[in-house]
Structure 1
Amino acid sequence: MNRTALVVGASRALGLALAAELLKHDWDVIGTVRGEQRTGLHELAESASGRVTVEQLEMTAPAQVTALRERLAGRTLDLLFVNAAITRGDIPIADVPTEMFTEVMVTNALAPMRVVESLRSLVAPDGTIGVMSSRQGSISLNENGGQDVYRASKSALNQLMRCYAARYADDTRTLLLINPGWVRTELGGPAAPLSIEDSIPGVVRTIEDHSGQPGLRFLDYEGRVVPW
């Protein structure tokens, strides 16, 4: 039987490419989209002979996360991967409105961890829980500054995953924070050196290469360790 992956945030860009690449590697994929509009994930599902399922989820709404868990009850996931992030521009922290700070932190750090905590019971004991992080979440690599709130949100995400790993220290699941590299997407911008095709196959290889290895790792799309 094929392995089953749930990709949270799979409607476009990195998330959609991740779903498509997993499909190529003989995974069955459940992907989530935020609204009711047609997306690239719907098109992928139509061409995948029943191996891609589309679920609706606004992950910043706890009630929707709970509802998704109830809809998936009885399913076993080999991979839960949360891919979600927003940025609201390169604004010095003193100029960032409180509402913007809250929005970015909730979307990039709090909501992904709520998803992980809520859906962890669906993941097989030898399965993998992954979250899309960023090199910009590395404190030790921050030598140039900029993108203050986005950086802070990814650092917070990394710290919360460390807390999660410590809380479930005896868990046999693999835990991954993945840096996909600086990719040309709406979030990454046109100056980014990597295409989605450069990044995502490496992300999937990294996920598969570390399957069955318990504990938390912060890795990039080529499998290299990213300093915290």
Structure 2
Amino acid sequence: MASVICDSVLVTGSNRGIGLELVHQLVDLPKSPGHIFAGCRDPGGPKAQELRDLAQKHQGVITVVQLDTDSPDSIKEASNLVESKLNGKGLNLIINNAGVNIPGSLVETGKKEMVDSYTTNVVGPMLIAKNFHPLLCKAAAQFPQSSMSCSRPAIVNVSTLLSSITRCPENFYRSPMYPYRICKAALNMLTRCLAEDFRKDGILVASLHPGWVRTEMGGPQAPLTTAESVSGMIKVITSLTEKDSGTLLDWEGKNIPW
């Protein structure tokens, strides 16, 4: 693992599960980022207590940010807050982790389930990229001669193996999940579009499958702990290069076909 992942990072959905573990492991790196912005929908609520305790322990490094990825106004306000905290510097890395899993067979899935999933899992990451783009560009300008990496900067969209159209026949009947599969496939297209659009700015964009993880979303039968998944994710993120921009990788660094 690289000794330092980057100078500043924003993690969305950081009050539980993979997001919370990302903040834990990032701050415990031998050379942790100087700024870790931990975004969550309700920073003052009971579900954010562990995150608040962690931020209290690491004052000056972890900043808890009110960030509801379903709200354009919240995203804009969060970008303004992050900019003020960076004191003229750019933002190196965004990990778009916030998401929902609304399982459902075709019979169980209606308009609401599809729209709610799409709003959180696709529109949210798109608006994050749009609003934080100037800060990413500012970070990229600090390394004009450097090749793409998570320091120069990058966006990592947390996706899933279940988004793969190619792999769908081998796992569909175990996990039909129409809303989740379809919106995560759309998230992958967002990754491809952003990778092409932001290439001129030196910003790397990739999708990352964290594995099947034992979280509230993943369920108790999942084989991976959050610690195992996130440790692998950080190794992959620190090793990303220009060739990985616009691709879908898993937590072990293996390429997943679209």
Superposition TM-score, scaled by structure 1 size: 0.93
Aligned residues: 227
Selected match of 1:30 from 37, 55, 73 = 37
Structure 1: how far apart are the matches of 2:177 and 2:24? Answer: 30
1:179–1:220: 8 Å Cα contact kept in structure 2? Answer: yes
After superposing on structure 2, the runs of 4+ consecutive aligned residues of structure 1 that deviate more than 4 Å are 211-214
Shift of 1:18: 0.6
Shift of 1:159: 0.9
2:195–2:206: 8 Å Cα contact kept in structure 1? Answer: no
Amino acid at match of 2:114: F
2:13–2:99: 8 Å Cα contact kept in structure 1? Answer: no
**RMSD between aligned residues:** 1.8
1:125-179 CA distance string (max 9 Å, x none)? 1111111111111111112321111100100100122122223342312212110
Selected match of 2:226 from 179, 185, 196 = 196
1:162-198 CA distance string (max 9 Å, x none)? 1222233423122121100000111111111111111
Which secondary structure does the structure 2 equivalent of 1:170 belong to? helix
Selected match of 1:67 from 77, 100, 106 = 77
Segments of 5+ residues of structure 1 without an aligned counterpart are none
2:65 alignment partner in structure 1: 55
1:117 alignment partner in structure 2: 130
Are 2:91 and 1:77 aligned? yes
Shift of 1:98: 1.0
Shift of 1:94: 4.2
1:33–1:54: 8 Å Cα contact kept in structure 2? Answer: yes
Which secondary structure does the structure 1 equivalent of 2:8 belong to? strand
Are 2:28 and 1:14 aligned? no
Segments of 5+ residues of structure 2 without an aligned counterpart are 141-151
Amino acid at match of 2:116: E
Superposition TM-score, scaled by structure 2 size: 0.82
Shift of 1:7: 0.7
Which secondary structure does the structure 1 equivalent of 2:179 belong to? helix
1:11-32 CA distance string (max 9 Å, x none)? 1110000111111221231101
Which secondary structure does the structure 2 equivalent of 1:73 belong to? helix
1:173–1:212: 8 Å Cα contact kept in structure 2? Answer: no
1:216 alignment partner in structure 2: 246
Structure 2: how far apart are the matches of 1:168 and 1:77? Answer: 14
Selected match of 1:105 from 94, 104, 118 = 118
Structure with the higher fraction of residues in strand conformation: 1
2:79–2:131: 8 Å Cα contact kept in structure 1? Answer: yes
Amino acid at match of 1:166: E
User: Compared with structure 1, are the counterparts of its residues 155 and 214 closer, same or farther at alpha carbon in structure 2 (3 Å cutoff)?
Assistant: closer
1:137 alignment partner in structure 2: 163
Amino acid at match of 2:28: K
Taking only the aligned residue pairs, the percentage that are identical comes to 29
1:3 alignment partner in structure 2: 7
Structure 2: how far apart are the matches of 1:206 and 1:4? Answer: 17
Which secondary structure does the structure 2 equivalent of 1:140 belong to? coil
Structure 1: how far apart are the matches of 2:242 and 2:59? Answer: 29
Give runs of aligned pairs for residues 138-157 of structure 1, distance below 5 A. Answer: 138-143=164-169, 144-145=171-172, 146-157=176-187
Shift of 1:211: 5.6
Are 2:193 and 1:185 aligned? no
2:91–2:153: 8 Å Cα contact kept in structure 1? Answer: yes
Are 2:153 and 1:127 aligned? yes
